[in-house]
Structure 1
Amino acid sequence: MSKEQTDSKRAEKWTFALTVVSLIAGGTVVAGLVDRWSSSPSDDISVAASSSITMTSTPDEIPAEDVPEFSYVTPSAVYPTMIPGCASVEAPEEETFFSYILDGSDTYDDPRFPWFSSAKAAAMSDAVKQALPKDVELKFASPGNSLQFGPISAPSNTDGLPEGFSLEELASTTASGTLIRDGKIGALSLMLHSSSDPIPSCVAGSLVERRVLADQSVMDLQDTWSETNGVRTLNRSAMLYGVDGTRIQAYLNDTNNDGGPDAESSGVVPLTLDELVTLVEMPQLRITTPVPPGTAPLSPGCHGIPRDSSDVAELDRATIERLNAVLEIRWRAVPPGFPILDAGPGALTVAENDRSTACQRFLTRTGENESTLNMTITGGQPLPAEPNK
């Protein structure tokens, strides 16, 4: 029997009964979660090691008994134990879950969070990309999947917040992308928000090391694995508790950032823990670090038309660069009197919802009038029918 099989057998069983009810009217989603422990032999005190999730549905959908069982397994947490950097270690606690509904709109310039802006997001995104090791490639993708920090996601008000959570803790910006190193892929995600809460105690199973940085900020590190339906994924993470209130959570695994149930694991996490620390501790990511003068805000995002693109080739970097070069040449030949654009054509990106589509979004001005122009280029489309003559 392999060590992996032994670890899985020693895992403690944790079963969930999960009911999800979707109320389409009003866009409301309500989720209820009930947990129950099952007894199984284990030599160690363990927590949340194996999960079985059953999804039930409304009467008009598939009956609950026909939905396959979903299993999720993580390593047992040993207690008592010692963790490097921790003066003391607390016993693992039962996992808790909460849900809430975002009823606001995502924006880069929310006056409630003056530390963040489109220019701040641009500066942070550039800093993260430039700090990647030289032999690590960022997979070509849409801006939203290329380590570009998105707008702030936050509730519109403080009504109905989960108990114990403040608005600032739930207002976050996220960047994600797929890294490639020596042919092995891994998904990196960074989430940043502000918080005035104290640094939590070390808890068995939640970290493998705690570091105190030069400015007395604290970094918690984790290096672990999980199994979903028997498929193992390697995970590394770093959590920064900045002295200025910055909170950064970085997660890295050995799968593609596209995710999905069919995502394959490469077996190698593309960054070491020390390299992950180097990314997270950068001063450019602190909420109190000013934006460098002259930093341009991010260009507005663009989307294609959602469709089945399985039979259409994905756009690569060379194709996007060729299209941009053609557009730049044509733009220079535009006659006088053409509407003014905030940026000239030649900055196409892959659409956020369609990897076979290139697009760019402009603001156009004609006199005192201003409007938005979306340019989309996509392949695999049939030629239009010839009009009647």
Structure 2
Amino acid sequence: MQDVENGDKDAPQPSPAVNKWTVGLACAAIVAAGYLIAWLVHEPSAPTARVESSYVTPPVTFPVRIPGCDVVEPPRKAQTFSMIYSESYEYDNPSYPWFSGPKAAAMTQALQDELPGDVEIAFAPVARSLVFQPILGDPSQNNKFGDSTRANATLLRGDRAGALTVTVRQSTTPIPPCVAGDLDERRHLPDGTIVDTEDTWYELRGARTLSRTATGYLPDGTVVQANATDRDDHGSGRARAVPLAIDELVALVTDPALRVSAPVPPGTPDPPETCLPFGESGPAIDEAQARRWDEVLAGIPLDGVTLDRPLGALLPGHRGGGLCQTVQVTTPGRQSRLSLVISTAQPLPKEPDHSSYDRATRRLPDGAVVETSEQRSPQSRTVTVTRRSGVRIEVSSTDAAQEPLPLALLEQIALHPGLEVS
């Protein structure tokens, strides 16, 4: 088992043994349809000097006994794993009728509720805040990399930080056999669920990462995998540590609400949308400031306008700088997308010599510059306020079914005096 304090794992030495030293890293990346796929292929070979690009895993002993396994098969000659990163916020994929926006939201809530009480999700964009993302695969295209929904985040626990990734998919294939090197234990639960666990490590270019995994094969065909590592991609500055124990990972993958067949509570909205403040730059804005602005936004009256969720849940943008939030306007006749971006250290825009029919600029007595714009195809309206302090607030109404929200309402949000750095 892995020694968390020492960050290492003693390698078993009995003979014969198969060393899974990978002397070459085969890495490919494909960018298409808004997602990135990357995979590593590692093959067993005789021990050899590590090269700078090598991917190394612990040596595997065979034959070996694994608790819960009647038969243990020898190590595989080749293994692969994949990673999928989505920039899409469209959940409707006809290839996976069991999954939808409300289903993703219900699963997200269940997953976050299952975390231990002393664990926090690091302040990060929606796609890295343990929110289940769209399934992008298409079985008709023989796409083996896109059949699951994925939620990941950096977790903070005490003075330490690590990463968690959870995937959920529907499977009609048999439960895989026990293979030496792939698991440490197979648990058989009373309801027929089988959970495989592994506590291990890997090295990439000489840097070691500790890893714990639980994979649940549930009776309805759901496969849930939770992988926790001591990686801190958030850059929290805390000491690295695997944030969850094996038993805590088992509790995650066996949560009934994560099953494909679990019903979605009536009225469940879609998950929060990923916001993409392209073109914005500036210093990072911390969570404390975001929470102060959240309180201000939650108190702005929006008479006659109904939203799928309240304003006041700012997160860092997926790309670009600043904080942002996107919500859906559900008011009859006004259905649209309402987006808000706040950034700091922005220069005051230059005022044009004249205003056009679809764009206007004016300066307020306090020195703030207000820019308004309208677009007819597709219909959208935007108000941008840049204050002398460098705070810039952009509020947009887009994707309108009939007509975007009025500029007066967008200005009411953007000009609210509480949206300053405090």
Answer yes or no: is 1:380 the counterpart of 2:345. yes
> How many residue pairs get matched?
345
Residues 341 and 363, structure 1, Cα contact 8 Å, conserved in 2: yes
Q: Report the CA distance shift for 1:289/1:299 in structure 2 as closer, same or farther (over 3 A).
A: same
Distance 1:211 1:116, change over 3 A: same
* 1:95 CA displacement: 1.2
CA contact (8 A) 2:20 2:60 kept: no
Question: Which letter maps to 1:320?
Answer: A
SS in 2 for 1:70: coil
- Please state how far the C-alpha of 1:172 moved relative to its aligned partner: 1.1
Q: Does residue 313 of the first structure (1) align with residue 284 of the second (2)?
A: yes
Quote how far apart the aligned CAs of 1:349 are.
Answer: 3.0
Structure 2 CA distance for aligned equivalents of residues 353 and 340 of structure 1: 28
Pair 1:277-2:250 in alignment: yes
Which residue identity lines up with residue 126 of structure 1 in the other structure? Q
Q: CA deviation at 1:301?
A: 2.6
Within a 5 Å distance, the mapping from 1:167-316 to structure 2 comes to 170-258=146-234, 266-306=239-279, 309=282, 312-316=283-287
Q: How does 1:62-211 map to 2 (within 5 A)?
A: 69-97=52-80, 107-155=90-138, 158-159=140-141, 161=142, 170-211=146-187
**1:300, distance to aligned residue in structure 2 (A):** 2.8
Q: Does residue 14 of structure 1 match 2:9?
A: no
Q: Secondary structure at the match of 1:130?
A: helix
Over the aligned positions, Cα root-mean-square deviation in angstroms equals: 4.0
Indicate the SS of the match to 1:190: strand
Secondary structure of residue in 2 paired with 1:323: helix
Contact map agreement 2:154 2:164 (CA 8 A) in 1: yes
* Amino acid aligned to 2:111: V
Q: C-alpha displacement at 1:368, in angstroms?
A: 3.8
Taking every aligned residue pair, what percent have the same amino acid on both sides? 38
Distance 1:244 1:257, change over 3 A: farther
Q: TM-score normalised to the size of structure 1?
A: 0.75
Unaligned ranges ≥5, structure 1 = 42-49, 53-68
Cα deviations by residue, 1:317-365 (Å, 9 ceiling, x for unpaired): x322221222233325x5x7xx6655553343332224x5222224447
Residues in 1 aligned to 2:46 and 2:67: alpha-carbon distance in whole angstroms: 31
Cα pair distance change 1:202/1:266, threshold 3 Å? farther
**Match for 1:348: what amino acid?**
L
Change beyond 3 A, Cα 1:340–1:232: closer
Q: Note closer, same or farther for the CA distance 1:241–1:347 as it changes in structure 2 (3 Å cut).
A: same
Shift of 1:34: 8.6
- Preserved contact between residue 360 and residue 375 of structure 1 (Cα < 8 Å): yes
Displacement of 1:386:
5.3
- C-alpha separation between the residues in 2 aligned to 1:135 and 1:104? 30
| CA deviation profile, 1:221-277 (whole Å, cap 9, x unmatched) | 000011122221110001111110101111100111448xxx999453121101110
Q: Which moved more, 1:365-374 or 1:141-150?
A: 365-374
Structure-2 separation of matches of 1:132 and 1:102: 23
CA–CA distance in 1 between the matches of 2:7 and 2:116? 32
The 3 A distance-change label for structure 1 pair 362 and 139 is closer
In structure 2, what residue type is equivalent to 1:16?
Answer: G
Partner deviation per Cα, 1:268-309 (whole Å, 9 max, x = no partner): 312110111011110010111101233233233312125555
Distance change >3 Å, CA 32–CA 151, structure 1 → 2: closer
**Structure 1 counterpart SS, 2:153:** strand
- Give me the TM-score of the superposition, normalised by structure 2: 0.69
Q: What CA distance in whole angstroms lies between the structure 1 residues aligned with 2:65 and 2:225? A: 23
Q: Secondary structure, in 3 states, of the residue corresponding to 1:275?
A: helix
Which residues of 2 match residues 314-353 of structure 1 at below 5 A? 314-316=285-287, 318-332=288-302, 342-353=308-319
Partners of 1:181 and 1:233 in 2: CA distance: 18
Paired position in structure 2 for 1:46: none
